Chain A
Amino acid sequence: MSPVFGHGRLRLYLLKLLDESPRHGYDVIRALEDRFLGLYAPSAGTVYPRLSRLEAEGLVTSADEEGRKVYRITEAGRAELAARQDELADIETDITGSVRDLASEIRSDVRGSVDDLRAELKSAARDVRRESRHQARTQRREANAPGRSDVERLAERLHDELREVLRRTKPSDAEVAALKKVMENAMDEVRRVLGGQDRR
Chain B
Amino acid sequence: MAQWRIDQPQSLDLTGVRRLDVRVVAGSVDVVGRPDAADPGGSGAGGGAAHLEVSRVEGPLIVTLEGDTLTIAHERLSWGGLLDWVSTNRKASADVSISVPASCPVELGVVSAHAVVSSIAAAVKVKSVSGSVTLDGVRSDISAQTVSGDLEARGLSGSLHFTTVSGDLTVVDGTSGRVRAETVSGQVTLDLDVPADSSIDVSSVSGDLTVRLPGTAGLTVTAKTMSGGLDSAFEGLTTERKPGRISMQGQVGSGDGQLRAKTVSGDVTLLRRAGGAPA
B37 within 8 A of A: yes
Q: List 20 A-B contacts (CB under 8 A).
A: A33-B38, A34-B38, A37-B38, A99-B30, A99-B32, A99-B97, A99-B98, A100-B30, A100-B97, A102-B30, A102-B118, A103-B30, A110-B172, A114-B172, A117-B172, A121-B189, A121-B210, A121-B212, A122-B210, A125-B267
* Residues of A contacting B30 in the complex (Cβ-Cβ under 8 angstroms): 99-100, 102-104
Measured CA separation A102–B33 after assembly (Å): 11
* Residues of A contacting B172 in the complex (Cβ-Cβ under 8 angstroms): 110, 113-114, 117
Judge whether B95 and A100 touch: CB under 8 Å.
yes
B86 within 8 A of A: no
Judge whether A128 and B116 touch: CB under 8 Å.
no
Number of interface residues of B (CB under 8 A): 41
Judge whether B231 and A103 touch: CB under 8 Å.
no
* Residues of A contacting B53 in the complex (Cβ-Cβ under 8 angstroms): 96, 99-100
With A128-B232, A132-B231 known to touch, is A110 a contact of B32 (CB < 8 Å)? Answer: no
Measured CA separation A175–B146 after assembly (Å): 76
- Distance to closest chain A CB from B17 (angstroms): 12
A107 within 8 A of B: yes
Among A30, A102, A113, A125, which residue has its beta carbon within 8 angstroms of that of B38? A30
Judge whether A99 and B99 touch: CB under 8 Å.
yes
Judge whether A111 and B152 touch: CB under 8 Å.
yes
- Distance to closest chain B CB from A102 (angstroms): 6
Q: How large is the interface on A (under 10, 10 to 19, 20 to 34, 35 or more residues)?
A: 20 to 34
Across the two chains, which residue of chain B brings its CB closest to A100?
B97
The 4 tightest CB contacts between A and B, nearest first, are A103-B30, A96-B53, A38-B38, A30-B40
- Distance to closest chain A CB from B29 (angstroms): 9
Q: What does DSSP make chain B's interface, helix, strand, loop or mixed?
A: strand
- Distance to closest chain A CB from B151 (angstroms): 10
Across the two chains, which residue of chain A brings its CB closest to B151?
A114
Measured CA separation A144–B185 after assembly (Å): 37
With A99-B97, A102-B32, A121-B191 known to touch, is A35 a contact of B51 (CB < 8 Å)? Answer: yes
- Distance to closest chain A CB from B79 (angstroms): 23
- Distance to closest chain A CB from B269 (angstroms): 4
Judge whether B154 and A113 touch: CB under 8 Å.
yes
Encoded as 1 (CB less than 8 Å from any B CB) or 0, chain A from 43 to 81 comes to 000000000000000000000000000000000000000
Across the two chains, which residue of chain A brings its CB closest to B241?
A136
A90 within 8 A of B: no
Encoded as 1 (CB less than 8 Å from any A CB) or 0, chain B from 176 to 214 comes to 000000000000010100000000000000000010100
A156 within 8 A of B: no
* Residues of B contacting A103 in the complex (Cβ-Cβ under 8 angstroms): 30, 32, 97, 116, 118
* Residues of A contacting B269 in the complex (Cβ-Cβ under 8 angstroms): 121, 125, 128-129
Across the two chains, which residue of chain B brings its CB closest to A130?
B231
Q: What does DSSP make chain A's interface, helix, strand, loop or mixed?
A: helix
Measured CA separation A34–B229 after assembly (Å): 51
Judge whether B40 and A128 touch: CB under 8 Å.
no
B236 within 8 A of A: no
- Distance to closest chain B CB from A73 (angstroms): 16
Among B34, B95, B232, which residue has its beta carbon within 8 angstroms of that of A38? B34
- Distance to closest chain A CB from B3 (angstroms): 20
A182 within 8 A of B: no
- Distance to closest chain B CB from A191 (angstroms): 36
- Distance to closest chain A CB from B87 (angstroms): 28
Judge whether B212 and A124 touch: CB under 8 Å.
yes
Measured CA separation A95–B234 after assembly (Å): 50
* Residues of A contacting B170 in the complex (Cβ-Cβ under 8 angstroms): 114, 117-118
B114 within 8 A of A: yes
A27 within 8 A of B: yes
* Residues of B contacting A128 in the complex (Cβ-Cβ under 8 angstroms): 231-233, 269, 271
Name the residue in A37, A109, A128 with the highest tally of chain B Cβ atoms < 10 Å from its Cβ: A37
With A35-B51, A124-B233 known to touch, is A107 a contact of B116 (CB < 8 Å)? Answer: yes
* Residues of A contacting B99 in the complex (Cβ-Cβ under 8 angstroms): 37, 99
Among B39, B55, B136, B212, which residue has its beta carbon within 8 angstroms of that of A34? B39
- Distance to closest chain B CB from A135 (angstroms): 10
